[in-house]
Amino acid sequence: MTGISDAPDPAATDGREAGVDTGRLRTGLDPRAHRIVYDQYRPDGDDPVGGELRLISEVDRAHLVMLTERGIVDTARSGALLDTVDALRADDFAPVRDRPMPRGLYLAYEGWLVDRLGQRTGGVLHTGRSRNDLNATTVRLKVRGPYAELLDEVSALTRVLLEKGEAHQDVTMPAYTHGQPAVPISYGHYLTGTAGAVLRSLEGLLDAGREIDVNPLGAGAVGGTSVPVDPARTAELLGFTATAPNSVDAVASRDFVLRILSSAAVLGVLLARVARDLTWWTTEEFGLLRMADDLVGSSSMMPQKRNPFLLEHIQGRSTSALAGFTGAAASMSTAGYTNAIAVGTEAVRHLWPALADTTQAVTLLRLVVAGAQPNQERMRERAREGLTSATYLAERLVVDGTPFRTAHHVVGETVLTALDSGTPLSDAARAHPAVAPTAADYPADWLAPETVAGACAHGGGPGSPAQKAALTRAHTELGRLTAQSGARRARWADAADRLDNAVAKVVADR
C-alpha cells in the first residue's frame, strides 16, 4: 500500500479553484499577465492572409478613388471595382482564400477581380502602380496598430511610475552603486527617475515613426510612372502626412524598421535593468519590496515559494527588439539600394515579434510597479545599516571649512568606528574630535537617512523641492508626447472615414 491517499483533494471541495489557491498563494495570476505569459502556447487566431488582403484592398480603394478623380479611370469601371472590393472585404476575402497563389497573394487577389469583372474593368486596378510601391505602403499601414499599442503601453507605464513615484516620495531607501548601499534616496525618487528614462524612450519611438507617415505610392517599381497619378491625394486618403520625393528611396528604404527597432531596443535595455533591480529587492535577503499574490508564481514542488517570475519574463522579452534590430540590419546590409526582398520581406519580418515582445514587457513592468508594495521599515533599516548618511556628513564638514578630501578621510574613520563599536553613525560622529564641533550644531536625528534624503534637494536629488519639480516636468512631458501620439492616431482614423466617404461617392456616381 502506498502513502498516497485516495481522499478527495480539499482544494476541490471547499470552493477554491484547483490550481489557483496553492495554500501559500490565495489568488491566481493577474489575467493580463496570464495572457502574456501563458497564451503564447495557444493558437493566437492571427489571420496573416486576411490581414494582408485588407491592407492591400485599403490601398486599392484609395488608389482607385485617386485614379477616378484624375480622370485616368472612368467612374463606371472604378465604381464597379470599388463595389466588388468592398463586398470582398465584407466576405472576409473568402473567394480569394481558396485560389492557388503560385505568384503570391496580390496577384491571386487581382486575378479573382479580373475573373469576376473582366479584364477591361478588373485589369485597371494596377494602373500606375507596382507591387514594390504597394508593399512599401502596406507595411506602413500594417505597423500602425502594433506601433500605436506600444506607444500606449509606454505612456501607461510612465503614468504608473509617476503615480507611484509621488505616492512613495517619502519612503526612504538606499540607492545602490556597485551593489552596495550608497546614499539615501526614496523609492519614489527611484521610480521618478525611471519614468524620466521611459519618457525619453517614448520620444525616441515617436521620432522613429516619422517615416511611416510618408506615402510611397507613385514610386512604381523603382522609377516612378508616366501615368499622372496624385500621391498627395492617396496620402490624404490613407492618413499619411507627406509623399516620397524620390522613387528609388521610396521602394528601397525600410529605415523606419531599423529606427523603431533601435528605439525599442533602447527601451528594452531600460526595462531589463529595472527588472534586475526589482528582482534583487524582492528577494528574502533584501526584502525591500513585496509582490501581491496575483503577481507571483508558486513552485510545483516547494510549497513555501513566492516567485516574482514576471520579472524574468520582462528581462527575457525586453531583448527581443535588440535581436530584431540585429537581424533586420544584417538582412538589409546584403541588398543594394533598390527594391529588394532582403529588405522588404526578410528584414521587415523581424519587426513584428519585436514590437509584440517589447509591448508585453512594458505591460508586465507596469503591472509589477503598480502592484509592488515597499517595505518601508526594511528600506529605512537598510539605509541606516548601510551608513548611507556618510556622504552628507562629509559635506557638512566641507560647509564648515574642511577640504573635501580631508573630510572624506575623517568620515571614513568615523564609519569604521561606528562599525567596530556597533554604534549609530551619529554617535560615532559626536565622538570623533574632528567631527564633534560640527555635530554639536545639529539635533540628535540629523544623520537619519530620511532627514538626509530630504536635505538633498540640489542636483535633482530626492529632497522635496527637486522631487516635486521632477514630477511636474515629467507630467508635462508625458502630456506633450501623448498628445502627439493621440493626434497621429486621430489622423489615421479621420483618413479612414474620409476614404469611406470618397469610395461611397464614386460607387454612387457610377
Which grid coordinates are listed for 353? 515579434
Do the Cβ atoms of 347 and 394 come closer than 8 Å? no
Do the Cβ atoms of 280 and 287 come closer than 8 Å? no
Q: Catalytic: which of 178, 226, 300, 458? A: 178
Q: Write the DSSP string, 274-324.
A: HHHHHHHHTSTTT--EE--GGG-B--SS-TT--B-THHHHHHHHTTHHHHH
Neighbours of 94 (CB within 10 A): 10
Name the residue type at position 119.
Q
Do the Cβ atoms of 340 and 252 come closer than 8 Å? yes
For Cα atoms 366, 369, 371, give the angle at the middle one, nearest 5 degrees.
105
Q: Which helix (H) or strand (E) holds 243?
A: strand 242-243
Do the Cβ atoms of 383 and 174 come closer than 8 Å? yes
Stated length of the chain:
510
Annotation marks residue 409 as catalytic? no
Distance in angstroms (rounded) separating the CA atoms of residues 235 and 55: 14
Q: How many Å separate Cα 393 from the centre of its chain? A: 41
Question: What are φ and ψ of residue 444, in 5° steps?
Answer: -60, -35
Q: Catalytic: which of 130, 155, 299, 300? A: 299
SS3 181: strand
User: What is each CA distance from 261 to 265, 349, 351, 356, in whole angstroms?
Assistant: 6, 12, 7, 11
Do the Cβ atoms of 188 and 169 come closer than 8 Å? yes
CA proximity to 139, closest of 189, 201, 90, 211: 211
Distance in angstroms (rounded) separating the CA atoms of residues 215 and 231: 7
Q: What is the dihedral of CA 254, 256, 257, 261, to 10 degrees?
A: 160
Distance in angstroms (rounded) separating the CA atoms of residues 486 and 494: 12
Do the Cβ atoms of 490 and 144 come closer than 8 Å? no
Annotation marks residue 63 as catalytic? no
Residue in the block written with cell 514590437: 355
For 77, residues 6+ apart whose C-beta sits below 8 A from its C-beta are 120, 121, 124
Distance in angstroms (rounded) separating the CA atoms of residues 25 and 20: 8
For Cα atoms 33, 39, 42, give the angle at the middle one, nearest 5 degrees.
175
SS3 221: coil
Q: What is the dihedral of CA 65, 69, 72, 73, to 10 degrees?
A: 50
Residues annotated as catalytic (active site), given as ranges: 178, 299
